[in-house]
Chain A
């Protein structure tokens, strides 16, 4: 009290910290609001769905869809765990031949977008597919067990998602402290008991978090389940949207899906936090277990996984590419969609980065309850699957802004909602690297806030901004459901081109776009790794 009074006497009124950037609340709030509008509309729409829709929701068929979605998610999670843990153990803790190479190759299926993987499997196993053509020619077999349905979706999604578990388990196993296991041995536990009682509990939070990530992937996935014709939420929403005149039921389904997704997200966050609590101070590298005769079994597991998850898709893709070329495949099959993808993704990257600035700056530089709420709110795109965002915008656009409906604007809007969290992560990270004292120094030298941002902050965070834009660009390139629902008539992208070609069984036409998308997503994976490594090193400092 006294000191306050003395200060007031000396310096006049006490100045609160400089109110620089307070005006940013306005654009930040506007962006947050805009991102929410379609969702609010979805809720309103669902609530007016009327008795029939609610009845529909309680029908056996609907409950079946919920059951199938959750069932598929759980089955894939379980399979990813059962595949990911032993693989991670093999490459970190055993003397498996070639384990360094396997460790590099095993995460690679992640770069294949799920619908591309589904396309490659279907194009091989399906009627009129590669395998049948071969068998027909040689053996006269005309019918094959169907690739469609639960087991097809389960297999493809497991092969595309086990790397999440594999990488999480690998990180813990390679860093974990060897003396913990030795302590257990000295207290009378055999190697196997030690694994169950000491090693596995260390892994538990990481396994929980990564398998929930797998579950989220499955719940959000639209392309693979649709191509493999297994009705989960996303496919049901799409079918409902396409067929029904009353789209409220689709809205209702979408809301149920959002609730389940949010449940998974909250659980994932919690496990991730508790995973961070375990200290990892590996003074000595973990000891390698000699496999001996089990070597063959280990190699077989790695081999089968890589064969199915990586070499098989690559081989099929290569086959269709060559066949397309041999048949004189026309360049316009992929050139126009390529241009469509690039232009839409490019615009999305620019718009998203621009709209991310206000909330990123606020959340890093002006910590307040309001800025925290805005930040959390902007993560809405994480919680809402692409198909739901698309559906919400279709409703919203058709009813409120018919002028914008069926224009590129609506597609970009969906991209911004979906990818803003990604851009925000990258920009926030780079903003945290810029010490506030640099900005204060510039201000003390007579620059106004806008000029400070322009001359000091922006040049310093430019690498982060670039990474954010690249990330959004690359992710938007391969986005399928939102593009499918919102692209203007006649506007095609690589993703919709694959979708169209596969649904008409023109498998060779999808090959070139699929290859481009796999390359695209390899680059984005590389960028994400780079980004997370930077983040890791800055945390350590």
Chain B
């Protein structure tokens, strides 16, 4: 286990109208990128702002390397925390040049040293030739790079990134996130990355923290969050389209599409739900049919079929790009996962004794 770098303990923060964060426990390890992901309004940005010191928690503590940043009677103001922030809207100072923006956090140093550091930072983000420009003369991607250089220049202990790519177009977003990730890794920085995009979180995070309604739902490696969602919300948020109701029986779980043979530590008869991804489902035309094709969406590499089961439940299933079936075709649908399926009882994952080895990056 690595050293906890930043620890949030039972953080609570309510605004006049709503509760934003209601008891968040979160640990960022030294040198890792922790991606905090969740739908809008889940409290992820509030958590970031609490760590940055822009907000004061109502209750709970924030520690950095064991020293309190926020406690009942201590509150270190943001300027004393040594935490860098990259904002969603860049927040570049419009009256200062690129150079002056990056130099803003470098003070009480000889001018030559400042100049050296700024140039180093601009070279790092590939904007050496833009140092005399004003922020409004830059493109969106360039602005975001300046914002990153500015946050990194004073050598922060921790970097917070608040949806840094959300105002960029798709192509730029993919390019920039690769750049930023490799940069953070190159500098061995500890970072907290907030996003609402699960795919981006899977890419950026060494670990993922999934949030909903002001609470942490699950913290784990991306692969595990994806394959072993802690609850129904995480499963759905991580892009699991199908939740199939079933009942625990001897030797597995009985569902509408047949018996799924996997052990569950629950008494027989308990109602459960199975997370079945579209790639875990297959169908053919043989035998007794149990569903009807509603529609097909061609995605290039594969076909996505929507199939209505006899109960009325609609599930999605993939087929290769060359297999076409007409709408209205009755089919036999079955699970073809090759791995254990996530199983929920009352919305919470039921632990099965299995440990998928996870490669730590």
Contacts and interface: CB of A to CB of B under 8 A. Distances in A.
A202 B95 contact: yes
B91 to A, nearest CB: 4
B95 A204 contact: yes
Interface stretch (A186-194, A241-249, A478-486): A186-194
Nearest to A278: B94
Interface in A294-346: none
B95 A187 contact: no
B269 interface: no
Interface of B: 52-54, 77-85, 87-89, 91, 93-96, 104-105, 107, 136, 150-151, 154
A189 B82 CA distance: 11
Max chain B CB contacts within 10 Å: which of A185, A197, A283? A185
B95 A185 contact: no
B136 A187 contact: no
Contact of B79 (A185, A278, A281): A185
Task: State the majority secondary structure of interface residues on B.
Answer: loop
A187 B94 contact: no
Contacts, number: 70
Interface stretch (A132-140, A175-183, A262-270): A175-183
A436 interface: no
A187 B105 contact: yes
A355 interface: no
A11 to B, nearest CB: 44
Contact of A278 (B95, B104, B107): B95
Contacts of A277: 94, 136
B93 A198 contact: yes
A187 B154 contact: yes
A182 B104 contact: no
A177 B91 contact: yes
Given A179-B87, A185-B53, A188-B79, 17 more contacts: A177-B91, A179-B88, A179-B89, A180-B93, A183-B87, A185-B77, A186-B53, A186-B84, A186-B85, A187-B105, A187-B151, A188-B105, A191-B77, A198-B93, A277-B136, A279-B94, A287-B54
Nearest to A184: B104
B247 to A, nearest CB: 48
A43 B52 CA distance: 65
Max chain A CB contacts within 10 Å: which of B79, B80, B136? B79
A201 interface: yes
A186 B89 CA distance: 15
A185 B49 CA distance: 12
Interface of A: 177, 179-180, 182-191, 197-198, 201-202, 204, 277-279, 281, 283, 287
11 contacts: A179-B87, A180-B91, A180-B93, A182-B91, A186-B53, A187-B79, A188-B80, A188-B105, A189-B79, A202-B94, A283-B88
Contact of B150 (A177, A187, A283): A187
Contacts of B79: 185-190
B52 A186 contact: yes
A188 B77 CA distance: 9
B151 A186 contact: yes
Contacts of A201: 93, 95-96
A189 B79 CA distance: 5
A27 to B, nearest CB: 42
A105 to B, nearest CB: 25
Contacts of B53: 185-186
B161 to A, nearest CB: 12
B154 A185 contact: no
Contacts of A189: 79
Nearest to B96: A201
A278 B134 CA distance: 11
B107 A188 contact: yes
Nearest to B103: A187
A9 to B, nearest CB: 46
A470 B150 CA distance: 53
A197 B81 CA distance: 19
A283 B91 contact: no
Contacts of B87: 179, 182-183
Contacts of A183: 85, 87, 91, 93, 150
A287 B77 CA distance: 15
B95 A188 contact: no
Q: Which 5 A-B pairs have the closest CB atoms?
A: A187-B105, A179-B91, A185-B78, A186-B85, A183-B91
B72 to A, nearest CB: 19
Contacts of B95: 201-202, 204, 278
A437 B89 CA distance: 39
Contacts of B105: 187-188
A182 B82 CA distance: 13
B93 to A, nearest CB: 6
A279 B105 CA distance: 22
Contact of B136 (A179, A186, A279, A283): A279
A281 B89 contact: yes
B104 A187 contact: yes
A188 B85 CA distance: 11
A287 B52 CA distance: 15
Contacts of B83: 186
Contacts of B136: 277, 279
Max chain A CB contacts within 10 Å: which of B77, B84, B89, B151? B89
Contacts of B85: 182-183, 186
B93 A186 contact: no
A392 B87 CA distance: 59
Max chain B CB contacts within 10 Å: which of A180, A183, A184, A201? A183
Contact of B78 (A177, A186, A202): A186
A517 B107 CA distance: 56
Contact of A188 (B54, B89, B154): B154
Contacts of A204: 95
A273 B217 CA distance: 50
A201 B94 CA distance: 9
Contacts of A187: 79, 84, 104-105, 150-151, 154
B58 to A, nearest CB: 16
B101 to A, nearest CB: 9
B102 to A, nearest CB: 10
A283 B163 CA distance: 14
A452 B147 CA distance: 55
B41 to A, nearest CB: 14
B131 to A, nearest CB: 18
